[in-house]
Amino acid sequence: MITRPYAIARRTLSFMDKLYEINWGVVLLVTIIACVGFAMLYSVAGGSFSPWADKQMVRFVIGFVLMIVVALVDIRFWLSFAYPFYAFSMLLLVAVEIAGHVGLGAQRWITLGPLELQPSEPMKIALVLALARYLHGLSVEEISKPLRLAIPLVMIAMPAALVAIQPNLGTTMILVADGVSLLFLAGLSWWWIAPTIAAVAAAIPLAWKFVLHDYQKARVLTFLNPESDALGAGWNITQAKIAIGSGGLSGKGFLQGTQSRLNFLPEKETDFIFTNYGEEFGFVGCVALLILFAVVIGYGVQIAMSARSQFARLLAIGVILNFFFYIMINAAMVMGLIPVVGIPMPLISYGGTAMLTVMFGFGLLLSVHVHRQVEIPRHSAGII
């Protein structure tokens, strides 16, 4: 008897085959997490869909359609699309420096007709796509050769530098983490990794003196001792800790959070929305949400491991690592475990570009699952 996956691998997938092969468990989990986000945006607005929840729901519907469409597209198209998408995202980052507008003290957005876009968000996925394509064309031995390694390092450094000068330290961290993680998983030798870690550690004093802005230094100092300026630089993290701590074991209940309703929480609909969730649903609710995230990540790792081509494996693991870094940095930030950086909680925080980027990423993950039996010869990707 021929099993369905093997049978599908031997012929071209029809539209119905692809719909059947979509991992609907991932789709369901993503939808549930997004609904939690809608509820939190409804809550922080004082029990109103306006001004955040209604817009976020529309964005999710658009993102949902995008995710399904992307999932149905042949994985080989995304291979050919990788470099053009990376180049386009780089142009948008350059455009931000030339014609971008300032918001919250940083120049991160650009207006394209009716759209207000934050190019650093799609660049996260563009970098994963481009690196997956490049590394697909190399053997494990070739990855550690200096000339071969120089290209992906430049691919990581260029967007990271442009994002860093916006300034946007959080997204810079994710771009570097995504890129370095993919290099490591593709087989980069420890002879490169260990000296690099040492060099980064040695460069921290120089970065502190010459790279970090005054407000970024203040965030680090405040992280080390938030009570030193609780009404100034330490206000954000102090109020976030109060909100999460006041939730206790089971929380105050939906719509009963006081920190957001009384406007003590900073950026309550974006970067610090997880604190409102913690206040209303407590430790149990936070653990439940993190378990949902963990299950999605587990699905992503499973999808990556089941793919036959190196490009698909690296793409899937890159997308899920990007999702993981979002969650880890935001949760650690609002709990006071790391300095405050501008990273939203995926699918929960308010934001159009971030929502659509995350949904596009999940579409690519689902495309890997749908086309997991497709084999892509290494030479078909080329070196550049």
Q: Among candidates 151, 7, 183, 120, which has minimal Cα distance to 357?
A: 120
31 belongs to a structural domain = no
Which residue range forms the structural domain that includes residue 163?
75-355
pTM of the shown model: 0.89
Per-residue confidence in pLDDT tens, the chain, 384 aa:
344 444 444 457 788 889 889 999 999 999 999 999 999 999 999 889 988 999 999 999 999 999 999 999 999 999 999 999 999 999 999 988 887 666 555 567 787 766 778 889 999 999 999 999 999 988 888 888 888 889 999 999 999 999 988 778 889 989 999 999 999 998 887 777 777 777 767 777 777 776 676 766 776 776 666 666 555 666 777 788 888 888 889 889 998 888 777 677 777 888 889 999 999 999 999 999 999 999 999 999 999 999 999 999 999 999 999 999 999 999 998 888 888 787 899 999 998 889 999 999 999 999 999 999 988 887 655 444
In the three-class reduction of DSSP (H, G, I as helix; E, B as strand; rest coil), residue 23 is classed as coil
171 belongs to a structural domain = yes
Q: What is the pLDDT of residue 91?
A: 94
Q: What is the pLDDT of residue 383?
A: 47
292 belongs to a structural domain = yes
Q: Which residue is it, tokens 């690592």?
A: 321
Helix residue ranges, H only, the chain: 4-9, 15-21, 24-44, 53-72, 75-99, 120-136, 140-143, 146-164, 169-185, 190-210, 214-224, 235-246, 258-261, 273-306, 310-334, 352-370
Q: CA distances (Å), 283 to each of 243, 255, 289, 329, in order? A: 12, 17, 10, 18
Q: What is the pLDDT of residue 113?
A: 67
373 belongs to a structural domain = no
Report yes or no: 76 and 144 within 8 Å, Cβ to Cβ.
Answer: no
Q: Among candidates 80, 203, 219, which has minimal Cα distance to 136?
A: 80
Q: For the chain, how many structural domains are there in total?
A: 1
Side by side, the strands of the sheet bearing 115-117 are 101-103, 106-112, 115-117
369 belongs to a structural domain = no
10 belongs to a structural domain = no
In the three-class reduction of DSSP (H, G, I as helix; E, B as strand; rest coil), residue 356 is classed as helix
7 belongs to a structural domain = no
183 belongs to a structural domain = yes
The residues that bridge with 117 in the sheet, in sequence order, are: 110
The tokens of 130 are what? 């481009």
